[in-house]
Structure 1
Amino acid sequence: MALFGSRHLEGNYIHIMYIPLIVSVIGENFAPVAQDSDYEKILKTYLYGAMVYALWVNITYFSSYNDWLKQNMYTFLQKNSAAQIWATGILIALFLLEYRTKWQKVLGYACAGYLLLLCGISQCRTAVLALAVALACYILLKSKHKVCWSFFTLIIVLFLWNNSVTRRFIDQALLLTKYAGADINTFSSGRLDGWDRALAAFAKSPFWGCGRYYVDCSYISVLAEIGILGFVLVESVWITRAVSNFKAGSGLNSDAFLMCLTMFYFIESVLEGYPPFGPGVSSFMFWFLSVTFVDNKTEKIPQDVGEISNE
């Protein structure tokens, strides 16, 4: 495609897809020689890192809750990349970590709650939506007590929505007050207009694309940047990975984790431009654990961990 224009060499996907490729190669070589303790160290280190990052963001950008309630614009501009890290940490804490004592379980779930709180404070609306869809899919597809979990979740949501303190937080986190009465395009930060412009750019060069382009939808962004041929190449990587993750049939904790994380990235990829390929190392654990848990048919995490999985 670079033969047809220099902007293709500067394209976003040329520069972001090599990291998942390298991570996958590392995972392929790591899984056959790894021990249970190796995975436990990696998962705990990742969660610790996500927590340190969240605390740094909290202190640096959101030191005052009252000031946060008054702001009407995004303060932390790297929120979408951070949300991928935090969402992965949440799912690791819920599904994969081995809790040997009740206090460890409380600490792990508290970490998951804090990371979710930071997603809200940072106003990562897409990530919050994606996590909600992922956990709903878990309840409907994996849970043995679908009715009980659905009822419990509904009660919690209604309580949070009708409580004045938590409702004010939700309104600010999701910008419901700012966009009250707005149409879908405005509420989505102009995504619909951006999609229209990107599709118009795609129509001008449908086979090869127009070169470097970004819009908040990875599928449309790929079409506009590298056309139909590039779309087939790029999205076949993602679709193959997603299908493999969903088809993993061991029934163990890693299956539930990867199903939720894959669903998270599916929603993210509809509403953001780079997921599930990055940017940077944001999606590191998705590709690494997909390869080690699915492609190598390896289950390194004990089955009797996590209250959610234990049901």
Structure 2
Amino acid sequence: MQKQNNSLIVIIFAHFAVIFTVLSQMLNYQRYFRPMMFACWGIVLAYSLLAKKAVYINSYIKTFGLTMLFILLHNIVAFFIYDKIQISNYFQVALIPLFVFFTMFQVAGHITPEQFDKILVTYCVCGVFLALYLHIEYVPDMNTWLSSEVYIYGSKNSAAQIFISTAIILLFYFKSDKKAVNILKCFLVIYLAVISMLLQCRTALLGFVCVVAYYVFIRSDKKRRLFFLIILLLGVLFVISNKSLWEIVEHTFFLDKYDDADLNQLSSGRLDLWVEALQMFSQKPILGNIYYYVDGMYISVYAALGIIGGTAILIPWFKRVSRNFKALSFAQKHKSITNLESTICYLTIFYLIESTLEGYPPFGPGACSAMYWLLCAYMDYTYYKPPQGSLVPIDSKLAK
């Protein structure tokens, strides 16, 4: 009975944890929702451990955990060399996905697939609510938006990760034969994309376009591919021919602001900043500058942590990419593919684009990428169910 009560508490607080994770992106209320988010995740972990009386780990948790210990040791060594106490921003950012992954790996044994689906529904509802809130709060009317020459929302990239993650889950995870449900899904996905445009989340939109392109050209059959291409062509022609719509597209990507601009200006100065980051790396190539940020994670981590720490922090990410696509390939080979594997791979493509042009994805910033790591943990657990009621290391079949 006590075990059932603990499992029920885990499920209830998992919903609350997801709710507060999304709502913590509301800057005006962050000071309220963030403590609630951490408290709920802590309760979820504590009760899941109490219910099972075991700690379950797999090879990926070992890799991620050892990487974080190595980065901490790296920072300690840097303190003695540089005589300056600093904890790398990448160590801090990567702690949250490690915690979320570890927690969900414990939780997975308490929930049925149906209960997991309900958690994803909660996330999607909150993602749409966040979009609606930011729409009302930051985009009062189109004239004001079109006349703005600065980004209207400071945490737009964090919010966009939630918007696009929600859109991908709606499109590829929740599939239905009901026409009304599919119409609602399409409407919500379009709305989330439009809000991403209004908040000028350019990188997220590019990532979403790449996901759709991957689905159309790689995953869909020839008939659907032709249909999508015709719809896409007609849509592009309609937008270009409509002055009002084209103005929105121009302002979304700041093409109106950067008239006759070069590639560096169009990328918000990224090219110059990358050159500067490489110079910073060249000054301290071994241990790095410890605390450093530039848009473009693969450059930023080396400027921050040097060749040693930068390579180390990328290992969990590249291993995650490999495992996700290996899971999809494994499922295809055995004709057992589910919406879970395909959705995670679409999200992985999205985060490959995000990580190239932004500094913190897929690790953060904050908890905005939590759903990605939650899904990955659930998939890892379902591929190899651990023995019940004992402390065990779990090596997924995918790791072999």
- Matched residues, percent identical? 36
Greater shift in the superposed pair: 22-31 or 141-150:
141-150
Which residue is 2:164 aligned to? 87
State how 1:163-182 maps to structure 2 within 5 Å.
163-182=242-261
Distance 2:368 2:208 in 1: 16
Matched residue of 1:158: which SS?
helix
Post-superposition shift, 1:99? Answer: 3.8
Distance 2:163 2:284 in 1: 37
Which residue is 1:246 aligned to? 325
TM-score (ref. length: structure 2): 0.71
CA deviation profile, 1:208-235 (whole Å, cap 9, x unmatched)? 1011000001111100010111122111
State how 1:186-197 maps to structure 2 within 5 Å.
186-197=265-276
Identify the match of residue 33 of structure 1 among 110, 115, 118: 110
TM-score (ref. length: structure 1): 0.91
Identify the match of residue 345 of structure 2 among 227, 242, 259: 259
On the 8 A contact 2:277/2:300 being kept in 1, the answer is yes
Post-superposition shift, 1:30? Answer: 2.4
Structure 2's unaligned 5+ residue stretches are: 1-73, 332-336, 385-400
CA 1:11 to 1:220, structure 2 compared with 1: closer, same or farther past 3 Å?
same
Q: Structure 1 residue 209 and structure 2 residue 295: aligned?
A: no
Which residue is 1:4 aligned to? 78
Which residue is 2:210 aligned to? 133
Structure 1's unaligned 5+ residue stretches are: 299-311
State how 1:54-133 maps to structure 2 within 5 Å.
54-99=131-176, 101-133=178-210
Post-superposition shift, 1:7? Answer: 5.8
On the 8 A contact 2:302/2:311 being kept in 1, the answer is no
Distance 1:7 1:257 in 2: 43
CA deviation profile, 1:41-87 (whole Å, cap 9, x unmatched)? 11111011111111111111111111101111111010000010000
Q: Structure 1 residue 287 and structure 2 residue 368: aligned?
A: no
Distance 1:200 1:4 in 2: 19
Which residue is 2:303 aligned to? 224
Aligned residues: 298
Distance 1:157 1:34 in 2: 44
Greater shift in the superposed pair: 91-100 or 218-227:
91-100
> Amino acid of the residue matched to residue 166 of structure 1?
L
CA 1:98 to 1:133, structure 2 compared with 1: closer, same or farther past 3 Å?
closer
> Amino acid of the residue matched to residue 34 of structure 1?
I
> Amino acid of the residue matched to residue 156 of structure 1?
G
Distance 1:294 1:160 in 2: 42
Q: Structure 1 residue 268 and structure 2 residue 354: aligned?
A: yes
Flag the structure with more relative contact order, 1 or 2, with Cα contacts below 8 A and sequence separation at least 6.
1
Identify the match of residue 185 of structure 1 among 264, 279, 283: 264
> Amino acid of the residue matched to residue 232 of structure 1?
T
Post-superposition shift, 1:15? Answer: 0.7
On the 8 A contact 1:201/1:224 being kept in 2, the answer is yes
CA deviation profile, 1:263-308 (whole Å, cap 9, x unmatched)? 111111111100000111111111111121245328xxxxxxxxxx
Distance 1:179 1:194 in 2: 18
> Amino acid of the residue matched to residue 272 of structure 1?
E
